[in-house]
Amino acid sequence: MNNREEIAQALAKSGYIADGELATAVSLMQLLRRPLLLEGEAGVGKTEVAKALASVHDTELIRLQCYEGLDQSAALYEWNYQRQLLSIQAHRGGDADAIEDQIFSEKYLLERPLLAAIRRTKPPVLLIDEIDRADDEFEAFLLELLSDFQVSIPELGTIEAITIPHVVLTSNGTRELSDALRRRCLYHYVDYPDVDREARIIMARIDGATASLSLQIARMVEGIRKEELRKVPGVAETLDWAAALVGIGVHDLLETPETVHETLMCLLKTHEDKSRLTREVTARILGKVA
């Protein structure tokens, strides 16, 4: 438990400015050995948590991107059929048992992310990204894997986990996840950062962003998020914008309202939003920043 502050510091060192609750979640992950389920709007930095976690533990990040129709052969393992066929042809006339043993050995096994994650000597961070995009069947299969950490391959036998990975799941909430999976996980809702934290994130990530500029940018973005937009800008967009402003050489938003308005394309990704934020609106929000 005393490592909570350490975790927060270590996360900060890796460039991720966490809120206090996330540090608790990470320490619980280790204590209870449960996966961590992160939910939140797109662009609030859910995937970044896993990356930061990997650098905190100084370990590999194994990522499984989910999509509809994702199945075992893309997520867990697959036999290298082409090589197997070649091998059968090459050893034509040989001892059938020997050939069988050979083509169903690990040499012919293609490791996919889930299998890879449990066969590392140092526990990696396993990021199962956008689990809501996968279908129910895959979710059920994942549930089984996450509770037993063993994989059974009919031709090869059961493969036990060498180490238990740190599992992070993310979801955008496009589909409701099953209660069983939710219960299995620690839950953390990632919200848009407050002004102070967002400013610190900008300072940590963008070289050359001064404290005053970062704070101005963060306040501006907060103002924009309060407008009625179709696509609310996330932290990634904020960072893009900050990088653009720093690159152009802006030091103070109030001095260069024209540039501010013209670079808003970094934040607003639909035509509707772009036309909603007219120069007057930009000026109004900018006025509140001061």
Partner 1 sequence: MSCCGDSPGYEELDEVSKLVATKLAAFLRTLRDSGFAVGPREGQDAASLMAAGYAGKPGLLRSAFKHLFSARKSDWDRFDGLFDAFWLGRRVRSRSRTIGSTRAANSPSLKSLQDRKSEPAGGEATDQIPSDGNDAPEDRAGEGRMEGASRAQNLSEVDFRRMADPDQIEEAHEVAASLAKTMRTRLTRRDLARRRGYRLDLRRTIHGNISHGGVPISLVKRQHKAKPLRLVMLLDASGSMSMYTGVFLRFIHGVLDEFREAEAFLFHTRLAYVSDAMKEKDASRALDRLSIMAQGAGGGTRIGESLQTFNRWHAARVLHSRSCVMIVSDGYETGDAALLGREMAALARRCRRIVWLNPMMAWEGYAPEAAGIKAALPFVDLYAPANTLKSLTELEPYLAKL
Q: Enumerate binding residues for partner 1 (CB under 8 A).
A: 1, 4, 20-21, 24-25, 28, 31-32, 34, 36, 39, 68-69, 71, 79, 81, 84-85, 88-89, 92, 135-137, 173-176, 178-179, 182-183, 185-189
| Of 226, 160, 158, 164, the residue nearest 195 (C-alpha) | 226
Which CB, 85 or 248, lies closer to partner 1?
85
36-39 vs 186-189, strand pairing mode: parallel
Cβ at position 116, least distance to partner 1 in Å: 20
Radius of gyration of the chain (CA): 24
Cβ at position 85, least distance to partner 1 in Å: 7
In a 13 Å sphere around the CA of 94, the CA atoms on its Cβ side amount to 13
Which CB, 9 or 87, lies closer to partner 1?
87
Which CB, 186 or 236, lies closer to partner 1?
186
Strands of 97-156, DSSP E: 109-111, 125-129, 150-153
* C-beta neighbour count of 38 within 10 angstroms: 26
Which CB, 86 or 211, lies closer to partner 1?
86
Cβ at position 133, least distance to partner 1 in Å: 10
Which CB, 69 or 247, lies closer to partner 1?
69
| Of 264, 229, 224, the residue nearest 244 (C-alpha) | 264
| Of 24, 18, 33, 20, the residue nearest 3 (C-alpha) | 24
Cβ at position 237, least distance to partner 1 in Å: 22
Cβ at position 122, least distance to partner 1 in Å: 25
